[in-house]
Structure 1
Amino acid sequence: MKRSSPLAFLALTGFLLTACGGSETPQTGDTTKPTVSLTASPSSVQPGDTVTLTASASDNVGVFKVSFYQGTTLINEDSIAPYTATTTVDSAASGTVTYRAVASDAAGNTAEATATVSVNVNTAPTVVSVIGTGPSTLSVDLVRSDRGVGVTDSTAYLYKSGDRSVAVGKATTNTQGYAEFAGIPEGRYDLVFIKTGWAGSAFNGAVAQGTVNNRLKVAQYESADPKATPDVPQLKLETPTGLTASGEVQGWKDLTAGMAFNNVVNVRAYTVKNSETPRVMRSFQFSLVTIDENGNWADVQAPRVNLDPGYVKPGEGEDAQDSKLVTLNATGLKGDVYLQVSGLDFNYNRVAYLVPITINQTAAVGAVTAPGKVSAVSYTLSERINFRYGAAQPDAPTSGTNLWVTTSWDAPVDLGGYTGFRILRADSEAGPYKQVAFAGSAQCAAPAKGATTRRCQINDTTATLQTDKDYFYKVGAVGSNDVSSAVARTYTLSEFRPKLLTPVKDGSEVSLTPDYTIKLNAFQMGATGVRMDLQVTDLITGSSYGYLAKRLIIRKDFDTAKKAEYQVLSNLIENNFYFVYRENGPADENDTVTYNAASDILSVPHQFEATLLGSAIKPLQANRRYSWLINKANAYRVADPSQPASATNPIVAYSVYSDPDSARLITPGGIRQQYTEVNDFTTRK
């Protein structure tokens, strides 16, 4: 609680002295006005939120009081520094609200200051049909993590590029995150995406051309703080005026549409001021983009530029959030392409700029040959890892999250004469094939000594990939001629989510030699095999030795009559696999671990290997707390699921449930996927 102001007491004393005939009056001769400033916090709110007003005031004699107003309505008066007031934003407010602070001294001199707050109600901009009609279609795949889940029910507003005075189109994303604007004139457009509780997303420079459907890939994220501003940051893009022989930048100029670059693209980005507050940025991302004759988007991203949150000053230079020089390798590209630069702030507001540029390849072009030994392997993660603002995974797909396809092929050691490679995808072997990625020498490994070929690899991370589908890939080599490889086939598995059944979670009175049962949920989604490491850990000692820490393989197999059945294997000692169980096998075969295809339940007896190898079983300790889990697991599928796995029938799809180790076991880069279910239980007394 604030105490009475001494100055207020003096003002009252002065009044009494005057009334009683006294000659001392503090007001006499004071004509100097106070000074005052006002801040409002937060500066961006939703209707119904509370705003705190804080005034800083001073006077040559003393401040008598500070009065706070919204318009002409008095909110509060305060006579004790710090001078504050709180108020609630009207539930019908929108746009901006202005507040005033009026400082008064005892002589009646006054001064005032104002402050405004932005009220974010995600109000729809006015949409006017002034765009006219045309031959083009502009569409968007709006995704929440660069690849994977579409953002549903986000409202997309279309503007003529650079003119936000009125929206010329409106659409809502469907359950796949797709929206389109059809029958529009050719030209460049900006798109703004609004969804309650989500961060803002804007895409500047989308190109509508010809009669094709130009299909863009755009990200929108959930807000870190739904009450923070959804306004997107603003970026400035520049390119060097020249580089010295040692690579030092000689100067900078604006990056403009149509600029030509030789072999590489040099660029930088930095923030410019948004309203009255500098925007703190998380990162910048740079990518080269192609949009083919059918309107399909493909891109290759450079490494993300993470920013120091301690630098909040907008602009360029060492003490600002400046990406500095970023060089993008343009091998694999020639002619008219696009540069995309995006920025992400700490509320996950995202802005992207698409700039048309021209790539000139100065190396000589020659004849090329068809790539050999093409393979396509899909990867699905049960946990969606976001490479945009999640943990860094340098070797993992830079724009992939839940699902991507890794395509690899053999290319000559000497790539002289090659412009690059085009990765083509189709839904059927007959086609049509559409470009989904591109690659150059940077995507090819260094050749082994004496080798005549080297392996190249690129990831298809397009937003149109779906689970539970067959996809067919070709790789086209580009030079003075264009020749494609043979077809490689893959199948995208759904998320692998095994379910722990017994012992039940938080169970008690569990047997000292329990059976561990799991519903696999793998073969029904098209997998032909499962690999998993089961683990039971003593919560007191942290040890799993002697209980259950074994790898199992459950695979769909075939007998000589080509009758499908299931086989369970275990590698009890290093990589030596021991046969455990075969469905419908002879009665004298070991069946300690069983898989029931009808119920989809795997049953693993405690210390099953002891029974298998004829040794004594070591029971759990009585009245002890344990955790059991699937420590690592993945489901997989071979190229032809009607035939056994072999060197000519390899694995072409993985769905990874959990892989906490950093070793490169399954996914490229050894992705540390932490998702796993754990059942804790207590044994009987």
Structure 2
Amino acid sequence: MKRFGSLSLLTLTAALTACGVGPVDLTGPTLTLSASFKTVNTGTTVTFTANANDPSGVDRVEFYKGTTLIATDTTAPYTTSATYTAADNGTQTITAKAYDNGNNVSTASETVTVNISTAKPAASVTASASTLINAGSVTFTATATDDIGVTKVEFYDNGKLIATDTTAPYSASAAYTVTDNGVHTIMVKAYDADGNVGEASTTVTIAVDSTAPTVSLVPSATTIVSAGTVTFDVKATDNTGVTKVEFYDNGKLIATDTAAPYSASAAYAFADNGTHAIMVKAYDASGNVGEASATVTVAIADANEPNDSVAAATTLTVGTPIKGAIAAQGRDHDYFKFTAAAGEMLKLTVRSVSVDAASTLDPYVMILMPDGVTVLEKDDDSGNGMESEIRFNAPVAGTYTAVVTSFDIHDSPTATDDRATNTYQIDLTRR
């Protein structure tokens, strides 16, 4: 092979060709480089695209930020990306190097101007109350402005994130009770699209009252021996005011009163016999509760009460005896009503000791005509011993009334006889 001295490229190529080596590729790929953004005003990612072509094929494209290799791409389209922040403000250059399969290289560069704002949003915050003495909620309102726009505002209570708002007007609220008493530092952080953060703060003092109301309870009666109503009167006071008083009977809420004087009532009948634990709960605006209690004993001897008038008479049917008592009130009269056909032959019996050996009643009974006034029959002791019995034929069809009391009450207009042991059984039969 011939030796060559200092030859031009064309001379060298011609010489190599003459020697049978063939043409040698010493030309790098054609290369251009473009950026998706020429100017960056907010924190964002810029994509750089290299357009590289070569007859022998492109082996790879390398991307450099300054002198630092940041990416290599071996497949078209050849791309890389770079993210810029305010720290990159100024002119930034990305260089691409395209290599062909003969390791020839071409170079292209692209510059972008980074001008990202470093200004923090201006922020302020106010609270709907600077001091809270009753349990409740406080609303926090923030104002935030920025040259490129606010993306979100975060609300912190003593360093704890409690809310995030992304739309103006920016606000949040927090509920406080006595357990939160103390000074709360409320801070807001306003963010813009470049990640700049503006802050503002205020304080709220939570001083929720922890003193429960003072309560007393007085029932109108502590023992009930006849069907009726008991009234419960309550006195409740508090340093911040009473909001409501609840009344409970054996654990069941029966009434709520929101204005003084606080009171409620309950009606009791035979079915309510027993001990009733009455409790009242007085609440203040902070949710503190004061309690008081009393006991009411219901001991009604007569299941038919109140049947103390013609209008309130208990229905009596043939063949079905009913138990009762002349008790609970000084001059008790029990009324029973029944329907009879004209001429119907009936017998009315009022028994005491024969059905209850402990009974102390000497019964007296009357039968009233359907007008409810006229006495058809009356009896004191036509039955067994002192017991009463009336045999009669109904003179007309209609509703009759039987009246039962004690002989002492009947015999004297001022006598009283209200012993709980004045029990009896009334029975209507045909004869």
Given the two structures, how large is their TM-score scaled by the length of structure 1?
A: 0.18
Given the two structures, how large is their TM-score scaled by the length of structure 2?
A: 0.27
Higher RCO (C-alpha under 8 Å, 6+ residues apart): 2
Instruction: Tell me which structure has the larger Cα radius of gyration.
Output: 2
Q: Name whichever structure is richer in strand by fraction.
A: 2
